């Protein structure tokens, strides 16, 4: 890769890191504990909000996960409208429908209920409400919202995306099969509700995939060039919690303690990447999801060990540092880094994650690699800058 271009990427990343220090960051107020979903309407009432739009997937109401929330809202004299049209990897059209439902029903706040997809959908729908003359496609990129959104309450029913505490949202373009990353502090949820009881019925494979998504956030947040003492500590805390609790949550979904710890790990990892950013693992996963509809956490889990190996010596010291702090042993930096990667692989295998994605077609790889490189460079502060050609090799390894 051209040395001048690499230099440009690093200057861009350092400038972004310095600029981030000038942004008035806020953090979502966390409401947590078993059964705490029924306390959310009390907070909404305290804020003087009288009508909310609830956004969920189509199966969520059928599982009766929303019943206690509906009842508590009515008890607190809060009106609600339900939009249950959100789909995995929400599209531009779904976002527009949610925004229209909010406006048409004179709502004052959003409740995102579900996994990362409903939460991302709400974040961008809130941006559309705040910027009615700016289509979703023009919100793509960094700091394109720049307007105060309606209040967002995020209620994650999975433990992995961390979307309830990030400034980013991913939306799919159903026409081009691209995924748009929209990043702006204004779309960060104002409140996050962690009720582990809502995750008890989560199937093992979703628990596994979302948990590995959180681990990917923690690792990429730790090894990137835009981290800080605080984001590194958040990443370490998340990594420890995941290694200690994910297998238990998968094997015994009724273990409330493991479920609660995984929610916290997801929150920590999400908070880490909010300021430290992500890397090539996400760039590749976004494109695999865009082309084939592969779950984001599954794609991340399969890709992560290979990306860490591709970074080579550019990542060894940072991986070794994370390994030590996460309780993984080794005699030197190279061994520590290798043992951390091996631990990630072993955890994936233990919880049933496959090692390849056989849906990937050779003919699509050059386009996906080019798009992944364009997404990551110069934006992501990765340990080593890779070309589209180098990313193609990783696509072929996991195919």
pLDDT at 26: 86
Task: Indicate whether 245 pLDDT > 70.
Answer: yes
pTM of the model: 0.94
Q: What is the arrangement of strands in the sheet containing 79-86, beginning at the earlier edge strand?
A: 29-32, 191-194, 151-156, 109-114, 51-57, 79-86
List 168's β-bridge partners, or say none.
Answer: 183
Cβ count within 10 A of residue 147 = 15
Domains and CATH numbers, the chain: 3-20+202-398 (1.20.1090.10), 33-199 (3.40.50.1970)
Residues near 394 by Cβ (< 8 Å), separated by ≥ 6? 280, 284, 303, 306, 307, 310
- How many Cα neighbours within 13 Å face the side chain of 373? 20
Task: Indicate whether 209 pLDDT > 70.
Answer: yes
Decide if 246 contacts 158 (C-beta within 8 A): no
Q: Which has the minimum average pLDDT: 12-26, 42-56, 221-235, 280-294?
A: 12-26
Please give the DSSP secondary-structure letter assigned to residue 28.
Answer: P
The per-residue pLDDT for range 345-398, each reduced to its tens digit, is: 999 999 999 999 999 999 999 999 999 999 999 999 999 999 999 999 999 999
Average pLDDT, the chain: 95
Listed in sequence order, the DSSP H helices in the chain are 3-20, 40-46, 67-75, 92-104, 116-130, 204-223, 229-251, 256-276, 280-292, 296-311, 316-325, 333-350, 365-376, 388-398
Decide if 66 contacts 54 (C-beta within 8 A): yes
pLDDT at 1: 63
Q: Would you give the distance in Å from CA 4 to the centre of its chain?
A: 32
Please give the DSSP secondary-structure letter assigned to residue 255.
Answer: -
pLDDT at 183: 93
Cα Rg of the chain (Å, integer)? 20
pLDDT at 156: 97
The per-residue pLDDT for range 116-158, each reduced to its tens digit, is: 999 999 999 999 999 999 999 999 988 999 999 999 999 999 9
Q: How confident is the model at residue 237 (pLDDT cuts 50, 70, 90)?
A: very high
Q: How confident is the model at residue 178 (pLDDT cuts 50, 70, 90)?
A: confident
């Amino acid at each position: 890769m051209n040395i001048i271009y690499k230099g440009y990427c690093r200057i861009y990343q350092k400038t972004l890191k310095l600029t981030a220090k000038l942004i008035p960051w806020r953090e979502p107020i966390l409401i947590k504990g078993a059964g705490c979903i029924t306390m959310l309407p009390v907070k909404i009432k305290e804020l003087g909000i009288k009508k909310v739009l609830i956004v969920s997937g189509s199966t969520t109401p059928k599982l009766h996960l929303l019943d206690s929330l509906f009842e508590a809202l009515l008890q607190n004299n809060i009106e609600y409208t339900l939009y249950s049209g959100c789909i995995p990897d929400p599209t531009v059209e779904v976002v527009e429908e949610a925004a229209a439902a909010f406006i048409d029903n004179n709502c004052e706040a959003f409740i995102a209920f579900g996994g990362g997809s409903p939460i991302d959908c709400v974040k961008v729908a809130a941006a559309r409400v705040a910027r009615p003359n700016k289509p979703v496609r023009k919100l793509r990129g960094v700091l394109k919202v720049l307007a105060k959104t309606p209040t967002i309450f995020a209620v994650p029913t999975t433990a992995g995306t961390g979307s309830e505490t990030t400034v980013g949202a991913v939306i799919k373009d159903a026409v081009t099969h691209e995924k748009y990353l929209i990043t702006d502090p204004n779309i960060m949820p104002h409140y996050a509700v962690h009720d582990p009881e809502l995750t008890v019925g989560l199937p093992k494979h979703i628990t596994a995939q979302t948990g590995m998504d959180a681990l990917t956030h923690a690792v990429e947040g730790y090894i990137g060039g835009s981290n800080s003492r605080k984001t590194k500590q958040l990443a370490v805390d998340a990594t420890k919690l995941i290694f200690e609790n994910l297998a238990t949550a998968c094997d015994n979904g009724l273990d409330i303690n493991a479920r609660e710890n995984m929610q916290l790990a997801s929150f920590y990892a999400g908070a880490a990447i909010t300021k430290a950013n992500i890397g090539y693992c996400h760039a590749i996963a976004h494109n695999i999801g865009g082309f084939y509809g592969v779950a984001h956490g599954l794609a991340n889990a399969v890709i992560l060990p290979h990306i860490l190996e591709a970074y080579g010596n550019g990542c060894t010291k940072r991986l070794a540092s994370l390994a030590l702090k996460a309780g993984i042993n080794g005699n030197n930096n190279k061994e520590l880094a290798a043992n951390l990667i091996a631990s990630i692989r072993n955890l994936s295998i233990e919880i049933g994650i496959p090692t390849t994605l056989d849906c990937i077609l050779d003919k699509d790889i050059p386009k996906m690699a080019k798009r992944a490189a364009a997404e990551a460079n110069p934006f992501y502060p990765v340990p080593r800058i890779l070309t589209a050609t180098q990313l193609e090799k990783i696509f072929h390894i996991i195919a």
